[in-house]
Each structure stands twice: as structure tokens, then as C-alpha cells.
């Protein structure tokens, strides 16, 4: 069963010229026959596969008397798992252990295996203005990009839902990058086109001229860079290379909330209809998802204002992602019901 959609704003448009646009999301749930739960999650050219095994038997040395043992294994796109992969697996363990109700399955094991199956290559950047956010490591020690980390979290969330593991909420993640406004605007308006360093510099200075700003010769000027920034959601590898800072946020969505003030006002006007008005108002106002931030990772130099702006934008994008996840699961359940009848 395939579930593909383009989420509502601030989600993706096909042109991807908006800073808050996400790449098109795709999901394939139940793709592995011998797993208790499985899914693939794609964001543009980036794709991650996830599988769940369990609850199942656990070795005595790993057994916990009051909860299930959560084991997370992360495989990179190529090579073997190095220190960055194991570090990311440890972060995912902390993230999902805070959401899953592991005490429902004591003396057992739940194993989550993640594999990146497709990832866009890093661009060849020679300009000193490009700021690689990750250490320049070779082969299996290459750290996953922020966009890949968000995709890993979303794929794991889908696989856990497919396996029926009880949780406090639905987890969704989003990544973003903070760039100089001139560079970020030019890169996003290029809409995925491959631009050389000289082209990016020339277009950035053209943008500054159109907006009444002087040309900049040194794009590494930190003082000027912090004065005017832009947050780009779901950044591409090129945007990540020019980023001042990168961020990944994950949220747990557990339900809806409503404002009871309207209900109280209407109920006071007509006591006989207070109960009916309360139910109607509650149903009408239940449009805001309740979310808790459960994961945050920031790399680079960033101001408190930019970090808060990044978190708010990622929260809005995660709402559209969780809507996509729930829509994909609804199609999965419908297909299973039709297959059994």
C-alpha cells in the first residue's frame, strides 16, 4: 500500500521556492513480510526503511523486569555503522523510550532497525563561504544529515504504528537550516537547480541590490551574517553547506485541545442549552494538535531568536507531517479490512 500526498502549508509545493516548503512526502507501509511492522518514508530523493520485530523473547542479560528492552540498530547508506550511526541510534533510543509505553511488555524485546536506502549526494563546494556543518569524515563515519535524521525519525514512527506498539503520541520530526537571507533566498528560489559558487555569489549580490543593500565581498562576515537571517525547512545538501546553523526537532502529538471560554459564555446565556453548546463548541474548537517537543539538536552558531523561530516553524511543519502519517495509516487499515472481508 502506497500513500503519497503533498501536505498543506507549510508543506511542500512542487517548485519549492518558499522557505517553509517541504519536499513531497511518500510512504509505503507493510513493505516487509517477515517483520511485525515496517515502513519506508521518503522526503524528495531521501528515503529510509524501518522495520519492527517484537515484542519477542530477549536474552537474560538484556531482560528488564518492569519494561520491554528497546533495541535500535541504524545502518548507513553504505559501509558499516560507525560512531555517528551509533550516536544517532542512542539519540533515537532516548527519544522513543520517552514516548513508547514499554511497561506494557515486560521481559521482552522490541527491536527497531533503520536503513537509509536513498540519499542525494553532497555537492562539490569549493567556495570558502560554504560552511559544512558536519566533520569531514570518510566512509562509514560520515554523519547523517539533518534532513536524514528527520526522515529516520518519521520512518521509525510509521513502523511503530504499523506494529501496533502502544505509545503516548504520534512522533513527527522536521529539520531546518539558518542561512544569511540573501544566500538562503537565492538557493531556495533556484528550486533544486545546481548552482556554482560564483553563481550563488552573483545572485546573492543581485538580490541585495534589488533590496537596496550593498554588495558583500566577504560572505564569511559573521557580524553581518547574524543581522539578517532566514530559516529554510527541509534543507537540501547545498543549503546545508551554506548554513550558519542546522537544527532537527521532533514532537509528540497526543490529541487535540480547545478553548473553553466560548463554551462558558454561550452556556451562561442559556442554561438549558449549556450541555449541548458545550459539546458543540468543544467539537468545533478541537482543531489544535497538542504537541510536546521530545528531541532537539542544533549545530552551529545561532541566536536565541533564530533558534526559537526555527523551533516554531518546525513544529508547524511537523503538524502537517503527522497529518500525512495518520492519513497513510488510515489507508493501511482500510486496505487490511478490505483484504480480510
How does pLDDT run across 209-252, given as a tens digit for each residue?
888 888 776 555 544 544 689 999 999 988 988 899 999 999 99
User: In the beta sheet, which residues pair with residue 289?
Assistant: 256
Please report the pLDDT score of residue 124 as a whole number: 63
For residues 91-113, average pLDDT: 94
d(CA 251, CA 172): 6
Q: Which three cell numbers stand for residue 141?
A: 563515519
d(CA 328, CA 27): 7
For residues 75-104, average pLDDT: 90
Eight-state DSSP code of residue 61: G
pTM of the model: 0.83
pLDDT band for 127, please (50, 70, 90 cuts). Answer: low
d(CA 151, CA 19): 19
Residue 129 has pLDDT above 60, yes or no: no
Q: What is the CATH number of domain 2-123+138-266+273-340?
A: 3.30.230.70
Please report the pLDDT score of residue 17 as a whole number: 84
How does pLDDT run across 271-300, given as a tens digit for each residue?
444 444 444 444 444 457 788 999 999 999
Instruction: Name the least confident of 81-95, 200-214, 275-289.
Output: 275-289
pLDDT band for 190, please (50, 70, 90 cuts). Answer: confident
Q: Which residue has the higher pLDDT, 141 or 243?
A: 243
d(CA 252, CA 172): 7
Residues in the chain: 341
Nearest to 210 by CA among 244, 178, 185, 243: 185
Residue 86 has pLDDT above 80, yes or no: yes
For residues 14-28, average pLDDT: 86
Eight-state DSSP code of residue 68: P
Q: Which three cell numbers stand for residue 177?
A: 537550516
How does pLDDT run across 22-32, given as a tens digit for each residue?
999 999 998 88
Residue 319 has pLDDT above 70, yes or no: yes
Please report the pLDDT score of residue 192 as a whole number: 64
For residues 145-169, average pLDDT: 95
For residues 126-136, average pLDDT: 53
d(CA 92, CA 273): 49
Residue 256 has pLDDT above 90, yes or no: no
Please report the pLDDT score of residue 272 as a whole number: 41
What value does the mean pLDDT of the chain take? 81
For residues 102-121, average pLDDT: 92
Domain boundaries, the chain: 2-123+138-266+273-340
Identify the three-state secondary structure at position 213.
Answer: coil
Residue 128 has pLDDT above 60, yes or no: no
Separation in Å, CA 2 to CA 29, 59, 252, 260, 331: 7, 36, 24, 39, 9
Amino acid at each position: 500500500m502506497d500513500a503519497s500526498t503533498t501536505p498543506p502549508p507549510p508543506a511542500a509545493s512542487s517548485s519549492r521556492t518558499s522557505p517553509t516548503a517541504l519536499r513531497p512526502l511518500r510512504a509505503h507501509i507493510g513493505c516487509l513480510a517477515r517483520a511485525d511492522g515496517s515502513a519506508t518514508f521518503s522526503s524528495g530523493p531521501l528515503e529510509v526503511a524501518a522495520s519492527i520485530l517484537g515484542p519477542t523473547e530477549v536474552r537474560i542479560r538484556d531482560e528488564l523486569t518492569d519494561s520491554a528492552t528497546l533495541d535500535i540498530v541504524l545502518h548507513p547508506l553504505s559501509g558499516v555503522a560507525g560512531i555517528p550511526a551509533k550516536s544517532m541510534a542512542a539519540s533515537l533510543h532516548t527519544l522513543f523510550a520517552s514516548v513508547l509505553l514499554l511497561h506494557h511488555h515486560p521481559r521482552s524485546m522490541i527491536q527497531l532497525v533503520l536503513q537509509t536506502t536513498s540519499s542525494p549526494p553532497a555537492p562539490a563546494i569549493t567556495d570558502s563561504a560554504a560552511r559544512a556543518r558536519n566533520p569531514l569524515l570518510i566512509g562509514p563515519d560520515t554523519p547523517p544529515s539533518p534532513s536524514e535524521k528527520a526522515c529516520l525519525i518519521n520512518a521509525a514512527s510509521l513502523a511503530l504504528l504499523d506494529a501496533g506498539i502502544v505509545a503516548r503520541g504520534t512522533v513527527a520530526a522536521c529539520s531546518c537550516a539558518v542561512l544569511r537571507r540573501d544566500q538562503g533566498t537565492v538557493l531556495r528560489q533556484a528550486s533544486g537547480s545546481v548552482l556554482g559558487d560564483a553563481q550563488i555569489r552573483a545572485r546573492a549580490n543581485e538580490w541585495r541590490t534589488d533590496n537596496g543593500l550593498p554588495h558583500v565581498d566577504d560572505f564569511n562576515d559573521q557580524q553581518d551574517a547574524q543581522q539578517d537571517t532566514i530559516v529554510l525547512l527541509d534543507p537540501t545538501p547545498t543549503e546545508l553547506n551554506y548554513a550558519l546553523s542546522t537544527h532537527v526537532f521532533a514532537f509528540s502529538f497526543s490529541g487535540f485541545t480547545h478553548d473553553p471560554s466560548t463554551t462558558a459564555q454561550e452556556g451562561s446565556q442559556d442554561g438549558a442549552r449549556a450541555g449541548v453548546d458545550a459539546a458543540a463548541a468543544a467539537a468545533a474548537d478541537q482543531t489544535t494538535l497538542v504537541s510536546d517537543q521530545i528531541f532537539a539538536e542544533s549545530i552551529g552558531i545561532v541566536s536565541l531568536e533564530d533558534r526559537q523561530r526555527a523551533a516554531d516553524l518546525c513544529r508547524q511543519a511537523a503538524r502537517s507531517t503527522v497529518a500525512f502519517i495518520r492519513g497513510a495509516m488510515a489507508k493501511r487499515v482500510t486496505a487490511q479490512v478490505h483484504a480480510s472481508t
